[in-house]
Amino acid sequence: MSNAVALLEEVARVTPLGFRFRDEQLGVLVGDGLAVTLRTGSAASPTLAATTSPSGVFAFHALPGLVARPLPPARPRLPIQFGAGDADYWRTLPPPVAFTVDVDDPWGRFLPLSFQASAPTRDLFVPACLSGASSGAPAADAIPLFSAPARSVAGPIAVVRVELWDPVASAPAAWAVVEAQLAGGPPCRGMADAEGRLALFLRYPPPDDPIHSVPASLVPGLGPPLTAQEWALELQAFYARPAAPTAAPDLCTALAQPPATLWADRGGGVPLGTLSVQFGRALLVRSRDTATPAGRVRITA
């Protein structure tokens, strides 16, 4: 009896658009719990939901209006997801088409956002505004997600919370971006929500260690206990007043906002300056004012 197998047909599937996401502040990939959808921009266009691979890649396997050019000898034009995925396949594809991708987190960890994507794209897609502009995260080919203001993170993480107020518009500074540096360490970016509320999560620097062997807090008389140690915190803001309220910011527009100033007082005469973070204690950044809106930090472009 022969065990030979006859191959009658071979079908290959290609993904024309895929990308990964990362937690911008903690620098880890996010592969679950996200609702990622795509639209063409037309009000009548359908909304497609992404599928997630075991490796955490969000992908769209079929996209409206995309068909592959036939290879010689001429064959019927097929949906773009059908193809060998080889060099000839990618060389004969039609020009990329623009889509809008919307990202939401039903679990409440991250802010919503949207960005423009073009397909077909051979590699993982990254918006042009992110090219070479990672804030120290290990996954440079992943799209950043920004923490929601009510999010909590376990472990030894420095927590900074602030509410930003636009005194010119007399409204919350929606979608303002703040970059933080703790004790001169790597920068960490956060984004305010539609109400100007922002949360930053930063990794603590190494504890004070004057003898270069064990933390001074563990040797009596050599240094303060860990819970009493403090580090300098610098905040840099970026903000442009939105032309109209939006339920979610465009990622590249938000990251292109110009530098802005944070003020410690209501009159805008004293810049916020250097702050101090103490181990194990969340820092709530507040202005010196008691008048409404009390405690909110003013921001001006």
Q: Are 197 and 163 in contact (CB under 8 A)?
A: yes
Please tell me the distance from the alpha carbon of residue 115 to that of residue 140, in angstroms, as a whole number. 17
Residue 291 has pLDDT above 50, yes or no: yes
Structure tokens at 41: 């921009």
Structure tokens at 10: 């071979």
Report the SS3 class of residue 128. helix
Question: Looking at residues 244-254, what average pLDDT do you find?
Answer: 94
Right CATH for 157-300 from 3.30.980, 3.30.1360, 1.10.3720, 2.60.40: 2.60.40
Residue type, 109: R
- Cβ count within 10 A of residue 169: 11
Highest mean pLDDT among 65-79, 179-193, 202-216 belongs to 179-193
- Phi and psi (nearest 5°) for 297? -85, 125
Which pLDDT belongs to residue 6? 65
Higher pLDDT: 40 or 204? It is 204
Question: Looking at residues 217-222, what average pLDDT do you find?
Answer: 55
pLDDT band with cut points at 50, 70 and 90 for residue 8: low
Structure tokens at 2: 């022969």
Could you tell me where in the chain the CATH 2.60.40 domains are found?
Answer: 157-300
Which pLDDT belongs to residue 95? 79
Higher pLDDT: 135 or 40? It is 40
Which pLDDT belongs to residue 134? 46
Which pLDDT belongs to residue 154? 86
DSSP 89: H
